[in-house]
C-alpha cells in the first residue's frame, strides 16, 4: 500500500517540491530539542514557516544524549533546548554555548500517570509503596531530566530505597508515554504533565518542592553557520508567539 502511494505521489510531489524550492535554496536550520518539548516546538515551527522561507529539521532526543552528541560532533544543530539546567551547563562548560545567550522561557510539572482505562487510584504519594503498584516507569536519570527529577522526588520523600525494585527506566519521555499506555493496571509512570496523551490520565501531581524547579533552557549554538536565520527563529520562540504556543500546550510560562 505504502509503495503504491509512493509510486503515484512521487512524480507529483517531486514536481511540487521542485516548484517550491526553485526560487533559490531555502535556508535550513536544525533544532536539537528535549523530547518533552518536541511537539510544542514543532507547533511553533509550523507557525514560523508560514511567514518565513526556511526549512526546519527537528532532532528530538533526551537532553543528555543531545548534549553529548553535539559536544562529540555526531550532531550538528543551530539551537539546543534542554529540559534541565545540568545539560545546558555541560554545554556552556564545553564552550559550545555562550552563557549570556541562555534563556529559560518555560517550566513544567511532574505527575504520576497511568493508562487511561486503569481503575488504579493514588490518594497519597506513599501509595506508590503499596502492593497496588507493581511497576513504576521513570526516565533514565543519567540523560533524561524528567527521570532525574522523579528520582530526586522519590529520594527527598524517603521512599526511593523501598520502591527501587519496582523501577524500570526508559530512554526518553515519548517512549515512556507509549509504554505506559500499553501497560497493565498496576503500572504507573512519572512524567511531565505536558506529555500526558489521550491514552493516559494523571493520578497524582508531584509536589514541586520535592525536586529542583523544572525549567527549560534554550540557547543558540556557537558553531552554527546559519547564525542570522537561527537567531531570528530563536527570538520568535522566546517571544510572545512562542510562549503562547507553549502555554497552550500546558507549560508554565510565568517565569
- 10 vs 13: CA distance, rounded Å: 5
Taken in order 189, 193, 195, 197, is the CA torsion positive or negative? positive
- CB nearer to another protein: pick between 136 and 246: 136
- Work out the end-to-end distance of the chain between its first and last CA atoms, rounded to an integer number of angstroms: 49
- CB nearer to another protein: pick between 10 and 116: 10
- CB nearer to another protein: pick between 21 and 248: 21
Of the residues 23, 24, 73, 158, which one makes contact with another protein according to CB under 8 A: 73
Helix (H) or strand (E) holding 4: helix 2-21
- Please give the C-alpha separations between residue 84 and each of 10, 87, 94, 159, in angstroms, as whole numbers: 42, 6, 16, 23
> Under the criterion CB under 8 A, does residue 71 sit at the interface with another protein?
yes
What is the largest distance, in Å, between two alpha-carbon atoms of the chain?
A: 64
Q: Of 135-154, which residues contact another protein (CB under 8 A)?
A: 138, 140-143, 147, 151
Of the residues 8, 9, 205, 241, which one makes contact with another protein according to CB under 8 A: 9
- CB nearer to another protein: pick between 36 and 62: 62
Please state the closest distance from residue 93 (CB atom) to another protein, in A.
Answer: 14
- CB nearer to another protein: pick between 87 and 246: 87
> Under the criterion CB under 8 A, does residue 55 sit at the interface with another protein?
yes
Of the candidate spans 77-85, 102-110, 160-168, 195-203, the one that interacts with another protein by CB under 8 A turns out to be 160-168
Contact 105, 243 (CB under 8 A): yes
- 255 vs 247: CA distance, rounded Å: 12
Contact 251, 195 (CB under 8 A): no
The C-alpha cell at 248 is: 497552550
Interacting residues with another protein (CB under 8 A): 6, 9-10, 13-14, 16-17, 20-21, 25, 55, 64-65, 68-69, 71-74, 76, 138, 140-143, 147, 151, 164-170
Amino acid at each position: 500500500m505504502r509503495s503504491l502511494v509512493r509510486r503515484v505521489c512521487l512524480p507529483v510531489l517531486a514536481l511540487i517540491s521542485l516548484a517550491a524550492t526553485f526560487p533559490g535554496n531555502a535556508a535550513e536550520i536544525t533544532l536539537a530539542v528535549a523530547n518533552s518539548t518536541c511537539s510544542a516546538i514543532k507547533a511553533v515551527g509550523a507557525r514560523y514557516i508560514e511567514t518565513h522561507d526556511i526549512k526546519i529539521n527537528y532532532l528530538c532526543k533526551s537532553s543528555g544524549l543531545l548534549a553529548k552528541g553535539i559536544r562529540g560532533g555526531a550532531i550538528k544543530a543551530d539551537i539546543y533546548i534542554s529540559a534541565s539546567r545540568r545539560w545546558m551547563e555541560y554545554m556552556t562548560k564545553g564552550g559550545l554555548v555562550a552563557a549570556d545567550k541562555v534563556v529559560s522561557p518555560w517550566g513544567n510539572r511532574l505527575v504520576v500517570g497511568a493508562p487511561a482505562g486503569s481503575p488504579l487510584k493514588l490518594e497519597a504519594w506513599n501509595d506508590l509503596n503499596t502492593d497496588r503498584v507493581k511497576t513504576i516507569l521513570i526516565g533514565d536519570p543519567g540523560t533524561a531530566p524528567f527521570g532525574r527529577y522523579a528520582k530526586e522526588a522519590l529520594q527527598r520523600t524517603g521512599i526511593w530505597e523501598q520502591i527501587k525494585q519496582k523501577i524500570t527506566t526508559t530512554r526518553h519521555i515519548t517512549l515512556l508515554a507509549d509504554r505506559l499506555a500499553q501497560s497493565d493496571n498496576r503500572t504507573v509512570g512519572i512524567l511531565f504533565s505536558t506529555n500526558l496523551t489521550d491514552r493516559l490520565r494523571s493520578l497524582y501531581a508531584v509536589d514541586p518542592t520535592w525536586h529542583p524547579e523544572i525549567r527549560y533552557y534554550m540557547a543558540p549554538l556557537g558553531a552554527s553557520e546559519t547564525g542570522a536565520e537561527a537567531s531570528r527563529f530563536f527570538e520568535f520562540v522566546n517571544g510572545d508567539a512562542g510562549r503562547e504556543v507553549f502555554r497552550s500546550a500546558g507549560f508554565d510560562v510565568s517565569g
